[in-house]
């Protein structure tokens, strides 16, 4: 996706119990599927579906909780969630503090705009997890000079 063509999104959704409401209003920086082992644990599935957005594009109402851990990259990765029902809200890396990694499923029923352009961490993709065959696959992170 070229920078000038980045999708503008304006959606609001609530966690399972309604205690946290999130509004996404702004440009989507990237859309991807991730099969890293941490995403598999966090989602309980074979991959996560992620929209990367700027921190200023996200507004939260309600109390949140978080859990931080070292990532394979050496960064600290923090997952934010509803402290009442546990619904995942967003992830944040210490290497990109101004970017939020939103689980697209949070906006269920309003996420038709999601169109991933890559699969990252293909090295840990499960054979039973049938991710779209047309997506370019990267064994870990996408190479910095890869235009996708």
- What are the tens digits of pLDDT across the range 68-119? 998 877 889 999 999 999 999 999 999 999 999 999 999 999 999 998 887 7
User: Which architecture, in CATH terms, is 3-63+101-138?
Assistant: Alpha-Beta Complex (3.90)
Structure tokens at 45: 């599935």
- What are the tens digits of pLDDT across the range 60-72? 999 999 999 988 7
pTM of the shown model? 0.84
Give the residue, 34 or 121, on which the prediction is more confident.
34
Report the chain's mean pLDDT, rounded to a whole number. Answer: 86
pLDDT for 64? 97
In our burial notation (b when 16+ CB lie closer than 10 A, e otherwise), range 86-107 reads ebbbbbbeeeeeebbbbbbebb
- Residue 52 burial (CB < 10 Å; 0-12/13-18/19+)? middle
pLDDT class for 2, splitting at 50, 70, 90?
very low
* Percentage of the chain exceeding pLDDT 90: 54
């Amino acid at each position: 996706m070229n920078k000038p063509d980045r999708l503008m999104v304006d959606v609001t959704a609530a966690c399972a119990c309604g205690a946290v409401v999130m509004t996404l209003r702004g440009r989507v920086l990237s859309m991807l599927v991730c099969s890293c082992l941490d995403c598999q644990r966090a989602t309980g599935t074979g991959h996560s579906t992620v929209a990367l957005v700027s921190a200023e594009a996200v507004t939260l109402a309600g109390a949140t909780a978080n859990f931080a851990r070292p990532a394979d990259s050496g960064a600290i990765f923090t997952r934010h969630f509803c402290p009442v029902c546990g619904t995942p809200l967003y992830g944040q890396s210490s290497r990109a503090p101004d970017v939020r990694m939103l689980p697209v499923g949070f906006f269920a029923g309003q996420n038709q705009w999601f169109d991933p352009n890559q699969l990252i961490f293909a090295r840990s993709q499960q054979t039973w997890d049938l991710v779209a065959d047309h997506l370019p696959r990267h064994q870990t992170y996408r190479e910095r000079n890869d235009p996708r």
